Every structure is written in structure tokens, then in C-alpha cells.
């Protein structure tokens, strides 16, 4: 993978996350979980290193931009009368 650039972590709340997993499905599941909570630059491909097991993926997250969590059906709703 390419080196992390200063602009990717130049301010508090910015993250570079390198994910390693057994397969594409696993690392994309991690990426999806992060992207549901924070503003995230996602990727459409993984990296395979010759001679190394599994795949890797790099994503960039901005913890300053939290996304609203989806409400579960019927859960968490309350009415005030």
C-alpha cells in the first residue's frame, strides 16, 4: 500500500484505517460498518500481495462527521402525551 500522506491525518478526528482479512467480503463488511457511522471514503477494490494470504483495504474516515444511526423498527421510539 502507498504511504499515508499528512493530509489524511492533518487534523484531529481524521483516520486512516488499514484492514486485512481473509477475503473481499470480510474487509468490505468492515468498511461498510465504519461507513454507516462516519463519513468515509470507500474503496471498490482490495489489494493482494503476492505470496501473502488474504486481502487488504485502506479507508479514510472523518470522525468529526458522525452520521445518524438508523433507528431500528419500533425500537427507540417514544411518544410523549
pLDDT in tens, 19-70: 999 999 999 999 999 888 888 888 888 999 899 999 999 888 888 877 776 6
Distance of alpha carbon 26 from alpha carbon 56, whole angstroms: 10
Is-contact 46 27, C-beta < 8 A? yes
Domain boundaries, the chain: 12-66
CA distance 60 to 35: 10
Per-residue pLDDT of 63-75, as tens digits, reads 887 777 666 665 5
Amino acid at each position: 500500500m502507498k504511504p499515508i500522506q499528512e493530509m489524511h491525518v492533518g487534523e484531529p478526528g481524521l483516520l486512516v484505517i488499514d484492514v486485512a482479512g481473509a477475503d473481499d467480503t470480510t474487509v468490505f463488511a468492515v468498511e461498510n460498518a465504519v461507513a454507516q457511522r462516519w463519513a468515509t471514503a470507500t474503496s471498490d477494490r482490495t489489494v493482494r500481495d503476492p505470496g501473502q494470504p488474504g486481502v487488504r483495504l485502506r479507508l479514510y474516515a472523518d470522525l468529526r462527521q458522525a452520521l445518524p444511526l438508523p433507528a431500528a423498527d419500533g425500537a427507540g421510539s417514544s411518544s410523549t402525551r
